[in-house]
Amino acid sequence: MAYVNNIRMFLRVYELGSMSAAARDQRTSPAVASSRIADLERHLGVRLFNRTTRALHATEHGKLFYDGASKVLDAIEDAESKVMVATQSPRGTLFVAAPLGVGRRFIAPMVPEFKALYPDIDVRLRLSDRIIDVTGEGLDLCFHLGPLQDSELKIRVVADCPRILCAAPDYIAQRGMPDTGDDLLAQNHDCLNLRFPGAREFQWTLETEKGPRKFEITGPFESDDGDVLTGWALNGSGIVLKPIFEVADHLASGALVPVAQRTPPLPTQLVCLSPSRRLRDPKVQLFAEFMVRNCREKLAQLHASYGPPR
């Protein structure tokens, strides 16, 4: 098994181009990763990587070994998956990430139910609204809300998520009701924005009579936590752009009201991401199927109960 683990580490170092990134991916230390590569090099009698203080590159021997090693590990993992499916005994630890709103409302509440069905599978859930490096952080699955850059990850669409601009009635009473995105700018409305390192969307894209248009909004507050923005909106601090599922209860109670309804925000998508190799693991497949199915049901019920913004 040590030799298989050495091969697995070699593949991740090769693919990620970093000893430390591969160590994170395999949930171990850089020292252990380096030791496994050294063991493999001693066994083969060749150097697999050229290392400098700034970079790590595969040698010609490393490139040759990668192709064969990939096929070997694929065959081993496929065989392991078939045994687990046949014995109906998936086990191990899952590392999962999700945005704060999605994680708190849907993923986290369903983890105990999943654990009850599959007691030999443990779940490590990380919640954050920042952009997640799924491969670099060694995750099995990541739920993502919003547009994606080009990705080599396996992508499964969970659901389309309509969004809405809304504010507290007290804010509207003081500042007036904007009908369009142009009103947001002309009336100098306070807009609450989601910002974090690596964030790419610094405007609100709204649907106008001439098609989608980006509006350069401004406001006194911003945060990297979407629920903080909702709290500020409820306190009358400004206008917030949110997926309807995050504010449906507040809209139903009247604590928040729709604004700028003539230029609504474009919908977004909730997707489930996974590295191709991880998705062959039965426990990853089971968790993905369970969460995608339940998220779809809960989102459909919630959107149906609120209805489209008018």
Domains of the chain and any CATH numbers: 2-85 (1.10.10.10), 92-154+270-306 (3.40.190.10), 163-266 (3.40.190.290)
pLDDT tens-digit profile of 145-173?
Answer: 887 765 678 888 999 999 999 999 999 99
Indicate the pLDDT class of residue 309, thresholds 50, 70 and 90: very low
pLDDT tens-digit profile of 7-63?
Answer: 888 888 888 888 888 888 777 888 888 888 888 888 888 888 888 767 788 888 888
pLDDT of residue 201: 52
Q: How many CA atoms lie within 13 A of 129 on its CB side?
A: 19
Q: Is 174 left (phi over 0), alpha (psi -120 to 50) or beta?
A: alpha
Q: Of 120, 122, 113, 126, which Cα lies nearest the Cα of 94?
A: 122
pLDDT of residue 177: 95
Other beta carbons within 10 angstroms of residue 75's beta carbon come to 10
Mean pLDDT of the chain: 85
Region 260-277 average pLDDT: 89
Please state the separation of Cα 123 from the chain's center in Å.
16
